[in-house]
Amino acid sequence: MKTFLIVGKSFQALRQHIINNGDTYVTLKDVQSTTKPLRQLKRVVLCDFTSWGTILESLNMIKNKYTIDGVLVIYESYVHKAAMIADHLGLPGLPIEASKACTDKAIMRQKFSDADIELSPDYCVVNREDQLLDFAKNHDFPLILKPANLVKSLLVYKNHNEQELLANYENMKELIGPTYKKYAPNQKPKIIVEEFMEGSIHSVDAFIDKEGTPHILNQVVDYQTGYDIGHDDNFHYSRMLPSRLDKKTITEIQETAAAGCMALGMKSSPAHIEIILTKKGARIVEIGARNGGYRERMHGLANNIDMFRNTLLIALGEQPNTEASSNYPCAVLELFPKSSGKFKYISHEKDLRKLSSLNYYSVKYTIGDYVGKSSEGYKMAAVLILHNRDIYQFNQDLSFINNYVAVITE
């Protein structure tokens, strides 16, 4: 039986997978992210992640009760601390320098610029308005303004001219503090501006072994953004398997993903690589040192790949198994409102719940709650997953959602 240390926080599906596999776990939980009374927490040690000394004290408490075999991290904001913990315990883990690059897009872009091939767009860290304007003078619009270390397209702005760029920069400065406090309390806010990459968006996941060799999945996920479906917002609306790309393009994405992981010096870690297919070739948006969102369910349903198991194997210093035995359709859709306001309902929800392809459906707000755009610092109002071995029925159900299901506000 192996014991895994989960750093920061986790989710039920991972914990259940560990138990079902005959292993056990203990969570080093961030005290800032828990509201439950201490007596209700099981297999948990609370810790203040703002202090390395406190982390070491908590680790000593854990080592008195458990022999840790592997370190796991699921959420972006704990990747760097997990790397430090794995290094301290002498266990397989992401190198500390790589963990900095994986959680800070400014450092990531610099690492990519040192690679032998072109991997990402030009960028600049922005601390003042004049830096923003200098970058704009030397690059064509549109430009992307984004936080360097947040996820889920939070506070990401596409800017078509200088006036819009300055207005969004002022808006970001106002929202960035509260957004980091809510979603990344242990991160220091940092803003970057970068070239906009025109092209379709895709992603691929990988597992980097202890020698630094990337094991890239053959299955590429296709995206639609909010812009693609008529929203003035840069969120990821849909994630689709299987990809509609040809084999040659998929190979290019895999090669670019592998080059990116190696440029960051990644080892003993999952990797989630987002890519845009530009006219000049595949370019990396970002690499996360974790499985992509919903990928455990997506690749399990569509491809029979056990993403959880591979995560555990990598944490133990063993080789992953990324071979698929099926290739069925699967889609994850995140629903945002077109207009921010008080949440009223999800349109055609009754019919939605009857779809034979509906695998999962969750509404994140209650009636009357304020819901907003991802660019305003809000997460999705609802998420649903479709899966069906009958491709015709899958496409019919997906078409119904695309045409009739929406977040209605007032």
Measured from the Cβ of residue 393, the count of other Cβ atoms closer than 10 Å reads: 15
In this predicted model, what pLDDT tens digit does every residue of 12-34 receive, in sequence order?
A: 999 999 999 999 999 999 988 77
Judged against a pLDDT cut of 60, whether residue 130 lies above it is answered with yes
Judged against a pLDDT cut of 80, whether residue 286 lies above it is answered with yes
Mean pLDDT across 257-266: 98
Mean pLDDT across 286-291: 96
The CATH classification number of 122-195 equals: 3.30.1490.20
Q: Looking at per-residue confidence, does 149 or 246 come out higher?
A: 246
In this predicted model, what pLDDT tens digit does every residue of 368-377 receive, in sequence order?
A: 999 999 988 8
Share of the chain above pLDDT 70, in %: 98
Sequence-distant (≥ 6) Cβ neighbours of residue 50 within 8 angstroms: 186
The CATH classification number of 200-409 equals: 3.30.470.20
pLDDT at 121: 87
Least confident of 59-63, 182-186, 330-334, 341-345: 182-186
Domain 3-100 in this protein, CATH class = alpha beta
Residue boundaries of the structural domains of the chain: 3-100, 122-195, 200-409
pTM (two decimals): 0.89
pLDDT at 38: 54
In this predicted model, what pLDDT tens digit does every residue of 33-90 receive, in sequence order?
A: 776 655 556 789 989 999 999 999 999 999 999 999 999 999 988 999 999 999 999 9
Rounded CA separation 293/270 (Å): 12
Residue 343 in tokens: 């949440």
Mean pLDDT across 383-410: 98
